[in-house]
């Protein structure tokens, strides 16, 4: 097939697995697995056998570049190679983006991407488990992105801590049954309320990102915190 297409490299798609959400791609032809994906004016470089890239999340990546207002501080708790941080840095006028990430392969690609896209100055990388590394970010954020599937629940508590005392917005990714988007969203909000009853948590939007599996959707819940 590669001969027919004149391709020098061929990769076979595999399942994304583990705590690092590692790629299951296998090289069938050629050794160099570095790719640069150009999308909505952003260059995403990564080793495709090491880091995942979900093509289906294209609209959510674009949306993140559109929702951030001038001067906001954003904390991306599961930044990976910069899936959401890069559009924010490139397409919004955010004051600063803090990226938390624990996979060294993703951190390497993120550093390369910040340089490649010319946005290194406005970003700080916090290496390690976000439940610890976000400790230095208490009260700084106008907006927090929780972009981990199947759930980011173990970092709900830290995400409240990094928000400004006056509140802000949290974008929570998750998986919901196709006919239970509202129920899933209300359950997420109940979990936030249980963690910190002193804030008001209200649903401002429920965004369907893609179909994840038969009858299961990848959703993003936008929560306003006051
Ligand atoms: C791959 S991204 C998900 C990207 C996005 N949802 C998408 O589909 O395009 C999730 C990242 O979170 C990182 N991660 C998971 N748990 C973490 C934790 N507790 N602290 C820091 N990073 C974490 C993983 O290493 C991974 O790079």
Domain boundaries, the chain: 2-47, 55-225
Q: How far apart are CA 159 and CA 137, in angstroms?
A: 10
pTM attached to this predicted model: 0.95
* Contact residues of ligand 1, CB 6 A cut-off: 19-21, 52, 54, 57, 78, 80, 83, 100-103, 106, 129-131, 147-149, 173
Q: What is the mean pLDDT of each run of 10 residues along the chain (226 residues)?
A: 93 89 92 96 97 95 98 98 98 98 97 98 98 98 97 98 98 98 98 97 98 97 98
Q: What is the pLDDT of residue 20?
A: 84
Q: What is the pLDDT of residue 18?
A: 87
Q: Ligand 1 mean position to 2 CA, how many Å?
A: 32
Q: What is the pLDDT of residue 171?
A: 98
| From 80, 85, 98, 162, mutation site for ligand 1 pocket: most ligand atoms within 8 A of C-beta | 80
The token pair that represents 2 in the structure block: 């590669």
* Cβ neighbours around 19 below 10 Å, total: 9
Q: 97 forms bridges with which residues in the sheet?
A: 74, 123
Q: Ligand 1 mean position to 147 CA, how many Å?
A: 7
Q: Ligand 1 mean position to 43 CA, how many Å?
A: 19
With CA atoms as reference, report the closest residue to 32 among 6, 9, 53: 9
Nearest CA, atom 24, ligand 1: 20
Q: What is the pLDDT of residue 22?
A: 87
Pairing of strands 216-225, 96-101: unpaired
Angle among Cα 52, 58, 60 to the nearest 5 degrees reads 105
| Residue the block writes with tokens 């955010």 | 94
- What lies within 8 Å, CB to CB, of 113 at 6+ separation is 43, 44, 45, 81, 82, 86
Q: How is domain 55-225 classified at the CATH fold level? A: Rossmann fold (3.40.50)
Nearest CA, atom 22, ligand 1: 101
User: In ligand 1, which atom is closest to the CA atom of 130?
Assistant: 20
The token pair that represents 45 in the structure block: 């470089």
Whether 75 and 144 have beta carbons less than 8 Å apart is answered as: yes
| CA-CA-CA-CA torsion sign (145, 148, 152, 157) | negative
């Amino acid at each position: 097939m590669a001969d027919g297409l004149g391709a020098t490299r061929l990769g076979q798609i595999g399942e994304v697995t583990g705590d690092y959400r590692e790629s299951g791609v296998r090289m069938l032809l050629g050794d160099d697995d570095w790719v640069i994906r150009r999308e909505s004016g952003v260059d995403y470089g990564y080793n495709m056998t090491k880091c995942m890239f979900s093509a289906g999340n294209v609209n959510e990546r674009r949306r993140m570049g559109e929702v951030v207002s001038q001067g906001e501080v954003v904390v991306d708790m599961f930044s990976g190679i910069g899936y959401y941080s890069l559009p924010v840095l490139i397409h919004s006028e955010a004051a600063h983006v803090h990226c938390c990430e624990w996979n060294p392969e993703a951190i390497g690609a993120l550093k390369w991407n910040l340089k490649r896209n010319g946005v290194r100055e406005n970003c700080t990388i916090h290496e390690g488990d976000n439940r610890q590394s976000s400790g230095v970010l208490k009260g700084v954020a106008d907006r927090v992105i929780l972009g981990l599937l199947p759930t980011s629940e173990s970092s709900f508590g830290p995400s409240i801590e990094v928000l400004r005392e006056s509140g802000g917005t949290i974008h929570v990714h998750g998986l919901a049954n196709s006919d239970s988007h509202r129920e899933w969203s209300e359950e997420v909000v109940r979990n936030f309320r249980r963690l910190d009853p002193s804030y008001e948590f209200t649903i401002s939007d429920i965004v369907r990102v893609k179909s994840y599996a038969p009858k299961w959707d990848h959703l993003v819940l936008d929560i306003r915190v006051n």
